[in-house]
Structure 1
Amino acid sequence: MDAVIETAWTVPAVKAALEETSLVREGELTARVLEGADPVLLVTMHEYGDLPIYLSVGGAQIVCSVLLWPVSEQSDTARFNEFLLKAQRVVPLSNFAITTVGDQDVYELMGELSSKTTLQTILIELRTLAENAIDATSLRDTFAA
């Protein structure tokens, strides 16, 4: 069973921990806090083509997400969406969603963690989500064929 920490993470605390830990490989990622109503951590995964991952903390959970592509660009969206709902295991430890950005619906890949999980588990989630986002892109291309 995964160990937990006593105090729940905050976005600034995750940023500071990522910058100080030896668990992050040199040049693997950079993290920047985006201020807003609730701060969000933008983690740029350099080993995955500078893939942006957004990390937020709220209540009992940490949510990590990657914006994929506009729903309007997916051929046969109804069939693709049905496929995603039936094939949850295509991208392990991640879930597909549709979120609205501006006035456009966008596919999103996300993972959730306890806000009291270890930094090592947060790093595993970031790396897994990055890999799954790359896999999801190839799934999009395969599905369109």
Structure 2
Amino acid sequence: MKSVLQRSSTQHVRAFRERMREQGLVKKDVWIRPEHAAELAAIEKAMREARDPAESNPSEDVKGPGWTLPTIRHALAQTSAVRDGSIELETIEGAEPSLHLVMREYGELSIFIAVGGEQIIVEAFLWPLAQVRDPAAFNAHVLATHKLLPLSTIAIQSIAGVPSYTMFGSLDTHSSLANLMFEIETLAENVIQASDAYAPYLDAGTHG
């Protein structure tokens, strides 16, 4: 992840909600079994808007050497989300290069993509550890509820020297572009949902 502290994810929630309202969408809570969370996330996304057939249709996993950061950037640049400005894309050079995606439809949420070995890591910043009132209680709650956030994991790491919570997902470098797009969109959705669900554990004034 880029070594610059990002805006707290709770700030993205407000912008995301406003954008959803502007599009005429409404929020509906549903009760399901935890094992159906990934399926529900896919259905919700499909019911919002049509996607490019190349992005939405299942496809065989990529054969051959697999994805690299340059080939991921090239492929993402061809998607409708990048072409229409819903996602802004840039490469961050350095010892560990990554892609930086700004998710316009998710309150300018920043997502980072890195490739290491046979894995693609898709990651987003949540909030600094210092914003959590009781880290021990919060960590226990996260462990008890993580199944409600399909395909994503919450971790603690140092960002620009600041201990922070992040959320990430991973997939094989031979995965299809459709699966990569689904991973990106699911992570963005999960960041928004986590910011709502875990707001009571954050200091007053950091959510709303």
Common topology (TM > 0.5): yes
Quote how far apart the aligned CAs of 1:140 are. Answer: 2.2
1:111 corresponds to which letter in structure 2? G
- How many residue pairs match? The answer is 145
Structure 1 residue runs without a partner (length 5+):
none
Residue number in structure 2 paired with 1:74: 132
Q: Report the CA distance shift for 1:25/1:128 in structure 2 as closer, same or farther (over 3 A).
A: farther
* Contact preservation (8 Å) 1:55, 1:62: yes
Alignment-derived partner of residue 53 in structure 1 = 111
Greater relative contact order (Cα 8 A, min sep 6): structure 1 or 2? 2
2:81 and 2:87 in contact (8 A); partners too:
no
SS at match of 2:85: coil
Alignment of 1:1-145 (within 5 A): 3-6=60-63, 7-22=65-80, 26-144=84-202
Structure showing the higher helix proportion among its residues: 2
User: Please, which runs of 5 or more residues in structure 2 have no aligned partner?
Assistant: 1-57
CA shift at 1:132, angstroms?
Answer: 0.4
Tell me the secondary structure at the aligned position of residue 87 of structure 1.
helix
**Offset at 1:70?**
0.4
Letter aligned with residue 107 of structure 2: G
Per-residue Cα deviation, 1:16-59 (whole angstroms, up to 9, x for no partner): 11111347672220211100112100011111011100000111
- Asked whether the equivalents of residues 82 and 89 of structure 2 are also in contact (C-alpha less than 8 Å), the reply is no
Q: Describe the superposition over 1:64-85 as per-residue Cα deviations: whole angstroms up to 9, x where unpaired.
A: 0001100111111100001111
1:91-136 per-position Cα deviation (integer Å, ceiling 9, x unaligned):
1110000011122111000000001101111110111000100111
Structure 1: which amino acid aligns with 2:61?
V
Distance 1:76 1:23 in 2: 38
Richer in strand (by share) = 1
Task: State the TM-score, normalizing by the size of structure 1.
Answer: 0.92
Q: TM-score, normalised by structure 2?
A: 0.65
Coordinate RMSD, CA, aligned: 1.8
Q: Measured at CA, do residues 24 and 3 of structure 1 come closer, stay the same or move farther in structure 2, by a change above 3 Å?
A: farther
Contact 1:33 1:40 in 2 (8 A): yes
Select the structure of larger CA radius of gyration. 2
Which AA in structure 1 matches 2:194? Answer: A
The sequence identity of aligned pairs, in percent, is 36
Off by >2 Å, runs of 4+ in structure 1: 21-27, 142-145
